[in-house]
Copies of this chain bind each other. A is one copy, B any other.
Amino acid sequence: MTDTPTEALDAIARTADDAAHALALSAPAARAAALNAAADALTANADELVALAMDETGLAEARLRGELKRTAVQLRLFADTVVDGTYLDARIDRPDPEFALGPRPDLRRVNEPVGPVLNFAASNFPFAFSVAGGDTAAALAAGNPVIVKAHPGHPRLSERTAALVAAALEGAGLPTGTLQLIEGQDAGTAMLKHPLVKAAAFTGSTGAGRMLADIAAARPAPIPFYGELGSVNPVFVTAGAIEERGSAIAAGLVTSVGGSAGQLCTKPGLVFLPEGHGLAEAVAAASAAIAEHRMLNPRIAAGYAQRREAVLGAKGVRVLAPGEVRTDEDGQAWVTPTIAAVALDDLRAGGDTLLPECFGPLAILVDVPDGERYADLLEELFEGNLTVTVHRAEGDDVARLVRAAARRAGRVLFDGWPTGVAVTPAMQHGGPWPATTSGGTSVGTAAIGRFVQAVAYQNAPEALLPPPLRDDNPWGVPQRIAEAGESARWGGAGN
């Protein structure tokens, strides 16, 4: 891997800008075919790509094969999203000489691509949040060229993926420069300042994300920066749920904490249980059954070891399952889950140490005394999160907890675990700061909405309108039409 030299960046940005012009005019079917071609290329080269990923990240083969499949399916879902066209939010107001505020012109509004998008790839999902991952797929689907800043954790995989996907996109007829790769931290921050870059996406730590968000906001012309940063994903378990299925909850928790060595943004980090819950033994037993797993790289492992030590050393923290951190002869760390426990008052006193995210297979069980209400605790202890999980039984009154959760997280789950994020139209993977920086979702088809901007055309001749706004609707997309004297209504395809 070689860092992209600073003097090469301007040409890369210009190539992307040239591609943006052509892409903006591309028909949905053409973009969809290209996204499907990219998915085909990933699938056809799965053996090679998974082998590279295993070597560079230490993630398990089954997990990586599943992640590659998810990445390919994600590209195909975005292909469907483009053809469906609902994301365009096409609106047509017919002229209305009798409008309440005086004659209304012919006005038509549609979401258009925003321009070149810079995507900072993540370490922990070498496929699904990397070169050909969700942010790339969403930005391409919206009709934007993408410049990916490779994550240094998997450089060879990044280069190979970029070569395959760029060739597939261009082979399907999209312009040269639709997907480009840059490498190196300096190249990434310099590109974030380039005036031709119009939006950026990022998945990673709160520290790095904040630094980049501040750069994006401080540009002479600021751009939206969609960062997906830290999250502790609190879980609240009622007494009723424990009574009904306590041992299943213990087992599910440990699986969710330990999977992929806990290196997931949705790993549950803090679990609130009624004092005297009696799950300690079941948790310890389930943890002991988890095989050791390599961490992504020594830097992340060192950060984890340090956080783990701090948590275990905090006042009042007890160890339910000690877990292990072992360094092999290559300097790579191997870990098993650590599950700690703490009383609520000690959590409050040690919040600076115990409340922030710990990236790795560690969770803290919090003993909550009678009389404390989960909804109040959620509001007292937490800022924005990607998820809040509620385990309850029939008849438990959790309505206020659920409303509080919806104000602090993008996803509220019931009786399950937040890891394993479905890629579907209704997914929301984002939340109030610091879960995400600029709103929106980075998983699911709604993610396309981050990479468009609305343009209205007033009294435009039919021939000068973009296709989704024309009366003959050549792309067959949904059009929301307000006739003279009428409220708006949906029309177009499928209606």
Contact = CB atoms under 8 A, between A and B. Distances in A.
A489 interface: yes
A416 interface: yes
Interface string A425-463: 111101011100111110001100000011111111100
Interface in A361-420: 383-384, 398-399, 402-403, 406-407, 409-416, 420
Contact of A107 (B422, B430, B437, B438): B422
Given A409-B455, A427-B456, A434-B221, A480 B115 contact: no
A494 interface: yes
Given A456-B411, A459-B414, A425 B93 contact: yes
Contact of A460 (B412, B433, B482, B489): B412
Interface string A459-495: 1110010100000000000101010000111100011
A454 B428 contact: yes
A213 interface: yes
Interface stretch (A4-12, A98-106, A171-179): A98-106
Given A426-B91, A488-B84, A495-B490, A412 B222 contact: no
A144 to B, nearest CB: 12
A445 B406 CA distance: 25
Contacts of A70: 101
Interface centre among A84, A424, A478, by most chain B C-beta atoms within 10 angstroms, is A424
Interface residues of A, number: 89
Given A416-B458, A455-B411, A495-B495, A490 B464 contact: no
Contacts of A438: 224
A259 to B, nearest CB: 13
Copies in the complex: 2
B414 A446 contact: no
Interface string A61-87: 000001001100100000010001010
Contacts of A430: 454
A437 B487 contact: no
A112 interface: yes
A24 B408 CA distance: 14
Given A217-B214, A414-B460, A426 B84 contact: no
A411 B458 CA distance: 7
A195 B101 CA distance: 39
Given A217-B217, A410-B456, A414-B460, A107 B439 contact: no
Contacts of A307: none
A315 to B, nearest CB: 26
A193 interface: no
Given A73-B100, A413-B457, 19 more contacts: A69-B101, A86-B480, A86-B490, A89-B446, A91-B425, A92-B426, A101-B423, A109-B427, A112-B407, A214-B218, A411-B457, A412-B457, A414-B457, A415-B459, A425-B488, A426-B482, A428-B454, A428-B456, A495-B495
19 contacts: A66-B102, A73-B100, A84-B487, A107-B422, A108-B426, A109-B426, A115-B407, A222-B437, A406-B466, A412-B457, A412-B460, A413-B457, A413-B459, A414-B459, A414-B464, A428-B455, A439-B454, A440-B454, A490-B490
9 closest residue pairs by CB, A with B? A428-B456, A217-B217, A91-B426, A109-B426, A107-B426, A221-B433, A413-B458, A93-B426, A411-B456
